[in-house]
Amino acid sequence: MELKFSVGGRIAKPVSEVFEAVVDPRQLSQYFTTGGAKGRLAPGAVVTWDFHDFPGAFPVHVIEVEKDKRIVLEWDAAEGSATVKRTTVTMTFEPLDDGRTLVRIAEHGWSDTEKGRSASYGNCEGWTGMLCALKMWIEHGINLRQGFYK
C-alpha cells in the first residue's frame, strides 16, 4: 500500500499573497517555522526549516516552484531507519471566483511499515496545522503555533 495523504483549505486572500507567504522565509517564520526558515523556496535550492517545538533544522529540497500555482519539495521521511528516505510534498494554489485561494498539500513516499505509517500520520497533522496557522496569520495576524505544541 502506498502511504499518502492530501489536506486542503481556503484562505481569504488572493493567490499571490498566499503563495508569497509560503515561499518567503520571513513570512513562513512568523506562523509555521517558528525556529526560523532560511532560504527562499526556489527550484534547486536546499533551504532549512526549524521549529521551536521540534528543535533541529530540517533540510528541505526544492524541486519545483511555479509562481502562484505549485511548489514541490522533498525532505527526509523521519522514519527512524538507517536508510534515509525522502518524501515528496506538493502544494497547489488555486484562485477561487470569490477572491479566496484554495491551498492543497499532498505528501507521499513513506515505507509501508509501522514507523512509516506513524511518520505519515504526524506529517498529516503537521500540514493540517500549517494550513490553519497560515489562514490565521495571513487573514488576522495571529500566530497559532506560538505555545501550541510545548
Instruction: Note the pLDDT of residue 98.
Output: 97
pLDDT of residue 64: 98
* Dist CA 68 CA 57 (whole Å): 26
Query: What pLDDT score was predicted for residue 78?
Result: 73
Q: What are the tens digits of pLDDT across the range 14-44?
A: 999 999 999 999 999 999 998 899 999 999 9
Residue 148 or residue 42, greater confidence: 42
pTM of the model: 0.92
- Mean pLDDT score of the chain: 91
Identify the pLDDT of residue 53. Answer: 75
Domains and their CATH numbers in the chain: 3-140 (3.30.530.20)
pLDDT reported for residue 144: 86
Nearest to 124 by CA among 141, 143, 110, 142: 110
* pLDDT level of residue 76 (50, 70, 90 thresholds): confident
Amino acid 125: pLDDT: 93
Position 82 scores a pLDDT of 53
Burial of residue 95 (CB within 10 Å: 0-12, 13-18, 19+) is middle
Per residue in 88-128, pLDDT (tens digit) is 999 999 999 999 999 999 999 998 889 889 989 999 999 99
pLDDT of residue 148: 75
Q: Which of 91, 104, 129, 103 is nearest to 14 (CA)?
A: 103
**pLDDT at position 57, please?**
87
Question: Residues 145, 32: contact at Cβ < 8 Å?
Answer: yes
Distance between CA atoms of 80 and 25, rounded to whole angstroms?
Answer: 27
